[in-house]
Amino acid sequence: MICLRAPLLSLLMLAAVSFAPFAQADELKDISQLLAQGQQAQALDKINAYLAAKPKDVSGQFLKGVILAEQGKSADAIKIFASITEKHPELPEPYNNLAVLYAEQGQYDKARQSLEKAIRTHPSYATAHENLGDIYAKMASDAYDKALQLDRSNARAQTKLSLVKELFSNSSIASSTPAKPEEPVKVAAAPVVAASAPPAVVAVPKPVVVTPPEPPKPVEPTKPVEAKTKPPVKEKPAEKPEPKADVEQAVKDAVEKWAKAWSNQNVEDYLSAYADDFKTPNGESRSEWEKTRKVRIRKPATIQVEVLSPKVEVDGNRATVSFKQNYQAGGNSMRTSKTLHLHKSGERWLITQELAK
């Protein structure tokens, strides 16, 4: 039995909170806590009541799919996640959850198609890449097994089948049981392999040629030079530090410019607000991150980003800005708490890290 990574519950903070304003997010968080405590029936009653008042709420629909999956009602959960992907094809998580449910039913080709859609939507989604690899391995295992059924003397197929089975028996992949919130699935970073250092280059010393010194030439007497007193050098007055209020305002202006470029869907100005050493949120490369951001900024018909109640802390050439962010695009709206870390490069303040809650 193949085991896929299925962060159904751990994705609630992403899907059920990030999609919804704060008041709705708190209500959904309470329901997800009931589910985490094993009170599935009570959680289902509350989410049904929630959706009766807000039938189009994506976060509520997602949570209902999670609850049904926990109850073993895979067919009903599949209907919900499939409906979300039809209405919101830009979200990768429902595709991943569909793949998990399809794999549990042995529908590996459907699982493969769902994971490929998740990756096209979000190329840096590591969980989907790993699950897709497991699906291909399972399909390969079935094919090798079929080859052996047709020809028991096929040693090559037997060796390959043994390798695949050993891979899964030694795997540390999480089981297909949905992950609990208190046990989030973690993806290990790829190890960094240091390249061997090139051999040191040793310079061969050139031979030293000694030449005899020339006889000294007679020195003509010189006239004494009158010492001229130089005028005293006036020291430049020390530059006064820029007032704190002006620095904080410059940081706020940089954040407002970043939000305006995002709202105007001006990708060039938006990306130029980030420093060269910007830490990407999922550990992907800068080029992969920029590619994903270009798609997500250009795709909606309109985007509106507001920065509310910014609080600035400055320490020399570094600053931290905390604020509430209102985001509206394509009929969806979300409100999040965000923190930006910036440093001053020349006359500009550039973003080095972006954190959202």
pTM exceeds 0.95 for this model: no
Least confident of 109-113, 159-163, 214-218: 214-218
Domain with CATH 1.25.40.10 in the chain: 12-169
CATH 3.40.50.261 is held by the domain 244-356: no
The two three-digit tokens of residue 312, written as one number: 């600035």
**C-alpha–C-alpha distance, residues 159 and 154, integer Å:** 9
* Reported confidence tier of residue 300, pLDDT bands at 50, 70, 90: confident
Higher-pLDDT residue of 233 and 107 is: 107
The dihedral built from the CA positions of residue 329, 335, 338 and 342, taken in this order, carries a sign that is positive
Decide if pLDDT at 347 tops 80.
yes
Amino acid at 299: K
Tokens of 255: 């954040």
**pLDDT tens-digit map of 26-80:** 889 899 999 889 899 999 999 999 999 999 999 999 999 999 999 999 999 999 9
8 A C-beta contact, residue 46 and residue 31: yes
Residue-wise pLDDT tens digits, 214-250: 444 555 555 555 555 666 666 666 656 678 889 999 9
Q: Give the residue range(s) of CATH 3.10.450.50 domains in the chain.
A: 244-356
Fold exhibited by the domain 12-169: 1.25.40
Mean pLDDT of the chain: 77
CA distances from 176 to 66, 165, 220, 349 (A): 13, 17, 100, 45
